Amino acid sequence: MNTSVSSQPHEDYARAWVPHGHFVVAGARQGTLAGLRFAVKDVFDVAGHPTGAGNPTWLATHPVPHVTSPIVATLLAAGATLVGKTVTDELAYSIHGDNVHYGTPINTRAPDRVPGGSSSGSVAAVAAGLCDFALGTDTGGSTRVPASYCGVWGLRTTHGLLPRTAMVPLQPSFDTATWFAQDPDVFERVGKALLPASAHDFKRALLLTDVLAQADDVFHDKAENVFNAFDGARTRCTLADADTLESWRQTYVTASAYEGWQVHGKWITENRPGFGPAVAARWQTAAGISADAAAQAVQRRQEIARQVGNFLGQDGVAIIPSAAGVAPLLTAGGAEVDQVRMRTFRITCIAGLAGLPQVSLPFATDAGLPIGVSLLGPAGSDLALIRLATALWKRLQP
């Protein structure tokens, strides 16, 4: 039986843990993940320990859970030991990585830059080597972007493939449970423990030049290298023009923000929690979206999902950047952050709208800054996509 000990598992020099998250739950003595340590984003419930969702008012207005997330339970049963809960951007509504209440976790690969969010503490803990892997979530990019910013492995799972019970929602039609790892073999081991078998055989690699154009030049050579490492048919092609990608971003923002307000609007109105300025502005926008606008966005989303799904088929894998730029500096102004955010969402919204899996492979610029290149695959191909990603990455190592 698992035992819970309220203690600090180690020195948190990445400032990745929330104050109420310092505890250890031992995993099973044997299993495929025995000997590994993992942390969880503070949106996953662990019985007997509070869930704060990045906001002290949420922490104060919700009871301590009595049920553990089934994903956490599966990992514990596989032998991994849980070493506590990590910082998240408030209600997971950001890809930047700061939190006005708990601070900004340290990006050890680029200490003068943000770690990316909203799974900021989880990615910081993994990048710093404080645990072997960590659970995150990805709604609009909250695993893929921090994986890119911090130079670790990250995955957005096929929507609905992993259970999201006992997990604080943001926008359920887009929310996915995810994880990070620094070591590709650990990343794949976790995938084997959590994901169903995947028989997908990727025969076509598609380098999406229009999507790549949304990212800074430092991503281009790395994407080309991944493309050229693929054994099989390779095609440079476009998915949509720049105006279309922007309209897709707007579709994502409208549909997701409206849904987020339906989930959390009543709680926000009744409790008036203190939010950081950027998160507060997003909730204000969400509150003003009409049901008609949201319905049109949902219909458009369904059309986009069919288009992207048909484009990939069952044997295609698309190569795209994981983000639009390197991690912004901690001192970057709001306008600069918003500009990178907008371009990034033109990239990340594709998997979100289509409900597809996307694996971010870690690379670095010539200056040594972390960046990620992603593989986007058909629905349900998650485990096969991980295997392909790790094989290509290993092939490219000197």
**Active site residue ranges:** 41, 118, 142
Compute the distance between CA of residue 336 and CA of residue 216 in angstroms, rounded to an integer. 14
Tokens coding 140: 């609009």
Chain centre distance of CA 372? 12
Compute the distance between CA of residue 171 and CA of residue 238 in angstroms, rounded to an integer. 29
Whether 388 and 381 have beta carbons less than 8 Å apart is answered as no
Tokens coding 210: 């229009």
Helical residues (DSSP H) of the chain, grouped into ranges: 56-61, 70-77, 120-127, 144-150, 184-194, 209-212, 220-229, 242-271, 277-287, 291-312, 334-354, 382-396
CB-based contacts of 111: which residues, under 8 Å, 6+ apart? none
- Give the phi and the psi of residue 374 in degrees, each rounded to 5: -115, 150
Coil, strand or helix: which one is 376? strand
Chain centre distance of CA 161? 15
Helical residues (DSSP H) of 316-381, grouped into ranges: 334-354
Tokens coding 56: 């002290």
Tell me, what amino acid is at 245? Answer: L
> How large is the C-alpha radius of gyration of the chain?
19
Whether 3 and 25 have beta carbons less than 8 Å apart is answered as yes
CB-based contacts of 307: which residues, under 8 Å, 6+ apart? none
